[in-house]
Amino acid sequence: MNATDDAKSLIETACERFIDDVPALAPLKLVFAVELRGRGDVQIFRVELKGKDVPLVVTKGDAADARVRVQMPRSFFNVMAKEAHIADWREAFTYGQAKASGVQEILKLIVHVVEKQEERQRTRRARS
């Protein structure tokens, strides 16, 4: 397995884990770009979320039709893809380890849905 295949599988893993943590995002149909910065190298991937019960498609190359662009260091992404949950991703975006840009309405929608999911999880823990 080469570095590109490895990155593609890590992106798939990260997306699947994130959608498992925030199931309300599962029906979302969206094309976004993932930029992973390494040592003097930038890898760009096109990720297409096709909605509920349809697998996502990850391809290497520029995503001219991307509505959102996510950027982060490759080494940081490698760890996040395998271990991160909602709170970890929120912290990464809050403190600048990861950056997202693009259509503001879509970014606001994602933030709103994630906040609602975190609120539900806090409520469940409080009742337990």
- Could you read off the pLDDT of 16-53 as tens digits, one per residue? 999 999 999 989 899 999 999 988 899 999 999 988 77
pTM of this structure: 0.86
What pLDDT, on a 0 to 100 scale, did the predictor assign at position 47?
94
Q: What is the C-alpha to C-alpha distance for residues 85 and 44, in angstroms, rounded to an integer?
A: 23
Task: State residue 80 phi and psi, 5-degree precision.
Answer: -60, -40
**Helix, strand or coil, per DSSP, at residue 53:** coil
- Could you read off the pLDDT of 104-114 as tens digits, one per residue? 999 999 999 99
What pLDDT, on a 0 to 100 scale, did the predictor assign at position 100?
95
Query: Is residue 56 a contact partner of residue 15, using CB atoms and an 8 Å limit?
Result: yes
Q: How far is CA 64 from CA 31, 47, 67, 74, 114, in A?
A: 9, 11, 9, 21, 26
| For the chain, domain boundaries | 3-123
CATH class of the domain at 3-123: alpha beta
Give the residue ranges of DSSP H helices in the chain: 3-21, 74-83, 86-94, 104-127
- Could you read off the pLDDT of 49-72 as tens digits, one per residue? 988 777 899 999 988 999 999 999
